Chain A
């Protein structure tokens, strides 16, 4: 059973809502912060199944590459408090097939309790073939994990990072992680061959995350997503439109969202890119702005 995948042109979409919150560190009471922020969205999740899709890339004992487990646990608690019957956590790391090693390196179990029933390794989940309607890339179809397709509410939870091939990796790029490694390998090289920017569009059009929560408490600049420099930005960004959330994140990073190829294209059918179409709550962008360094190949993204 798949969620509603209808694509709505920008001019027909209602305003998107994005909340920016300050959070100086991971020791802060993130549960209350996320809980308060979620209340702004009037989400109806009573009895529903939610899947949190963090960005788990690789072994990360210092906690600067992957979505921090404190943010994941706080989001889980927040959605449970909203009445969700079940909040699963799932990802399919792109570079290492030993997902449990990554989970242990970030100490997710310490924050959420035993993982056997709450975590889904999307790399080795049962799969279902999904035919693309968008044809942004040359991919006609991909297999996706049944768990990701079957939940009622899908939340993309990336970390605020630059990316050495795509410019930035945020809520939309994070959805690469639901493509199963057991079908496409480690890395999921078929997506690179299809064109990263274009594949991001097809995957997001097919899976349409319902919500996004970006861990920008400590992000990464420069040669991200793994080998860059940690950047303490002290923000959480939440929203009901992954494109609007990513556009807001870019503005916080001192980057022009319209200059990020895949984001510019996503603004037509997947969500709102323009400031005028985003209802901004919480902190202003100017008050939390912290320009990120980018590789020379992406200098054109900077404001």
Chain B
């Protein structure tokens, strides 16, 4: 019987890389031997959790411990340990801690921070000023929709909005703040508003600049589609999923390939045989020694589905 090449690639390359990259404090940096930070720790925890084994249990427990300890007093998580202010990484942390025992209070206070973190570009004052601006047609977007920013005090963008929606979706109902339903509605509306027309897909969040349509990109398209996957028959979802499928042939990096596969799987779509192989892409640059790319690859090839409820299910809605 022939061994599954994807499984052996994960077990022989990706998982050992992740295990060897975990720092003594329990966290992961973006690369081996780099400083532990919340974001790569979240991706590594999702990945290691996706391939359960006896040796992964201690690694997971230590990683969750790091993440809980990295939380700031206001409930948020910073991008780097020295930073006293939280940011979008809070969504990733809440998402992954929703799967950990003993983390309910951490997630609850984290979600409260997320729901209080409004973007600065859509305050009533700014909305009025935007209506009067001579540049209102430069990048026409509906500013009554409000998502999430990368860092506090800045504008809404596709990826941080998607991550916040995913975090809110995966939380236990008792952890959700009262504003969560309203924030989710506004966030989803923002994502649909920012979709690239006419062909579907998303870029970072500028669908049109100076009259020129923005080009969709794999990474934001994946996260927006995952955040919106409970509306699988919505025309924008269908169109964007088609764009993603058509883009697979030209994907040239393991990171985008892994995320695309995660997204297609979450919609129950078949993975085409013609798609590039992870091993071939790994051979090019060794994933640039990126912890998150190795983690995404593990998740793309994992059988476990619990970390991401499939499209159309009623997970926390």
Binding site for B on A (CB under 8 A): 58-59, 95-101, 103-105, 109, 114-116, 119, 121, 124-127, 129, 143, 164, 182-187, 189-190, 192-193, 223, 227, 295
Contacts and interface: CB of A to CB of B under 8 A. Distances in A.
A38 to B, nearest CB: 28
B47 interface: no
A10 B284 CA distance: 47
Given A126-B34, A184-B151, A189 B157 contact: yes
A101 B35 contact: no
Interface string B33-76: 01101011000000000000000000000000000000000000
Interface stretch (B7-15, B93-101, B237-245, B249-257): B249-257
Given A100-B293, A143-B80, A223-B212, A109 B284 contact: yes
Given A96-B217, A183-B80, A116 B289 contact: yes
Contacts of A58: 215, 217
Contacts of B285: 100, 103, 109, 114-116, 119
A185 B150 contact: yes
Given A109-B284, A126-B29, A182 B39 contact: yes
Contact of A190 (B151, B209, B252): B151
Nearest to A223: B210
B287 interface: yes
Interface of B: 29-31, 34-35, 37, 39-40, 79-80, 82-83, 87-88, 120, 149-151, 153-155, 157, 159-160, 203-204, 209-210, 212, 215, 217-219, 251-256, 284-290, 292-293
Given A116-B285, A223-B209, A189 B80 contact: no
B217 A59 contact: yes
B151 A189 contact: yes
A71 to B, nearest CB: 20
Nearest to B82: A129
19 contacts: A99-B288, A100-B254, A101-B252, A104-B253, A114-B284, A115-B285, A116-B288, A125-B34, A164-B210, A183-B83, A184-B150, A186-B150, A189-B157, A190-B153, A190-B154, A193-B155, A223-B209, A227-B209, A227-B212
B203 to A, nearest CB: 7
Given A105-B252, A115-B288, A185 B88 contact: yes
B150 A101 contact: no
Nearest to A102: B253
Contacts of B79: 143, 182-184
A121 B255 CA distance: 14
Contacts of B88: 185
B218 A295 contact: no
Given A101-B255, A182-B37, A190-B151, A119 B217 contact: no
A48 B8 CA distance: 42
Contacts of B204: 95-96, 186-187
A81 to B, nearest CB: 25
Contact of A124 (B30, B149, B209, B219): B30
B38 to A, nearest CB: 10
A185 B215 CA distance: 19
Contacts of A103: 285
Given A182-B79, A186-B204, A189-B157, A100 B210 contact: no
B256 A98 contact: yes
Contact of B210 (A98, A126, A227): A227
Contacts of A119: 285, 288
B247 to A, nearest CB: 10
Contacts of A183: 79-80, 83, 87, 151
B35 A121 contact: no
Given A189-B157, A227-B212, A124 B287 contact: no
Contact of B219 (A98, A114, A127, A129): A98
Given A58-B215, A100-B253, A295-B210, 8 more contacts: A104-B253, A124-B40, A164-B209, A182-B30, A182-B37, A183-B87, A190-B154, A227-B212
A261 to B, nearest CB: 16
Contacts of A101: 218, 251-253, 255-256
A193 B153 contact: yes
A228 to B, nearest CB: 9
B37 to A, nearest CB: 7
Contacts of B160: 185
A184 B289 CA distance: 22
Given A184-B150, A193-B153, A125 B30 contact: yes
A58 B216 CA distance: 11
A53 B288 CA distance: 17
Contacts of A116: 285-286, 288-289
Contacts of A104: 252-253, 284
Contacts of B255: 97-98, 100-101
Which of A98, A103, A182 counts the most chain B CB atoms within 10 A?
Answer: A98
A184 B255 CA distance: 20
